[in-house]
Amino acid sequence: MSQFNIREAREQDVDNIFRMLKELAAYLKEPDAVKSTPETLRRDLQLYKCLVVEDLSNGESSTKPLIGYAAYSDKFTMCDGRLTVLDNLFVAPEKRGKGIGTRLLDMVSKDAAANGCNGIEILAHGWNSRAMAFYKKRGAIDVTENKDWHYVQIPLKSQTKMDN
Ligand SMILES: CC(C)(COP(=O)(O)OP(=O)(O)OC[C@H]1O[C@@H](n2cnc3c(N)ncnc32)[C@H](O)[C@@H]1OP(=O)(O)O)[C@@H](O)C(=O)NCCC(=O)NCCS
Query: Which of the following is catalytic: 27, 48, 135, 151?
Result: 135
Q: In angstroms, what is the span from residue 76 Cα to ligand 1's centroid?
A: 29
* d(CA 155, ligand 1 centre) in Å: 32
- Nearest C-alpha neighbor of 108 from the set 129, 132, 90, 130: 90
Q: What is the pLDDT of residue 96?
A: 97
- For residue 156, the CA-to-ligand 1 centroid distance in Å is 35
68, β-bridge pairs? 53, 91
Q: Which fold has domain 4-122?
A: Aminopeptidase (3.40.630)
- Which residue among 52, 91, 108, 151 has the greatest number of ligand 1 atoms within 8 angstroms of its CB, and so is best to mutate? 91
Instruction: Name which residue sits closest to atom 19 of ligand 1, judged by CA.
Output: 97
In angstroms, the CA 12 to CA 137 distance is 34
CB 117 within 8 A of CB 83: yes
Calpha distance 3→1 (Å, rounded): 6
Report whether 115 contacts 102 (CB < 8 A): no
* Calpha distance 152→133 (Å, rounded): 24
- 135 is known as an active-site residue: yes
* pLDDT tens series, the chain, 164 aa: 689 999 999 999 999 999 999 999 999 999 999 999 999 999 999 999 999 999 999 876 678 899 999 999 999 999 999 999 999 999 999 999 999 999 999 999 999 999 999 999 999 999 999 999 999 999 999 999 999 999 999 988 755 555 54
Model-level pTM? 0.92
